[in-house]
Amino acid sequence: MLQETFRNTYPSVRGAKVVTNPNTGRSKGYGFVKFADETERNRAMTEINGVYCSTRPMRISAATPKKTTGFQQKYVTAKAYTTPIFVGNLDPDILEEELKQTFLQFGDIVYVKIIEGKGCGFVQFGYKVCTLFSI
């Protein structure tokens, strides 16, 4: 129901989750909505505030990000706050530049790192929408 409430007005909604009590399955009274378009998200934060979802008026605000790790803090830029995506099962001989070229089709890349000997790496985009399209 939460996703439908938002998606009817905002087509860039990519998902919604109502947080529930794991023991009872009942709603804890809050949830999260993911948007592909930041402008639409900002519009929704003002337009949907106070609108009823089921029997309760919604109080809308931006989610507070989890505490960042040193890895995230080091590579977050002023224009971007995106989560790096994990890329697994990489060829042991692949170079970071090759991995970057593979993902450039989805948008601006801030950071690429291959973990030596592990067959995996990370790619971080400059914009969240690029991250969403790459997955």
Interacting residues of 79 by C-beta distance below 8 A, sequence separation 6+:
126, 127
pTM of the predicted protein model: 0.47
Residue 79: per-residue pLDDT: 45
Domain boundaries, the chain: 2-57, 70-134
Q: Which residues of the chain have pLDDT under 70?
A: 64-81
Domain boundaries 70-134, corresponding CATH code:
3.30.70.330
Q: Return the pLDDT at 71.
A: 53
Q: Looking at domain 2-57, does it have CATH number 1.10.1740.10?
A: no
At residue 80, the pLDDT reads 46
Same CATH fold, 70-134 and 2-57? yes
**27-45 residue pLDDT tens:** 888 888 888 888 888 888 8
Query: For position 64, what pLDDT does the model report?
Result: 67
The encoded tokens of residue 64 equal 């507070």
Instruction: Report how far apart, in Å, the C-alpha atoms of 129 and of each of 55, 61, 114 are.
Output: 32, 20, 23
Which residue stretches of 1-135 are H helix? 2-7, 38-47, 70-75, 96-103, 128-134
Predicted pLDDT of residue 117 = 87
Tokens of 105: 């089709």
Please report, as a single letter, which amino acid is at residue 110: V
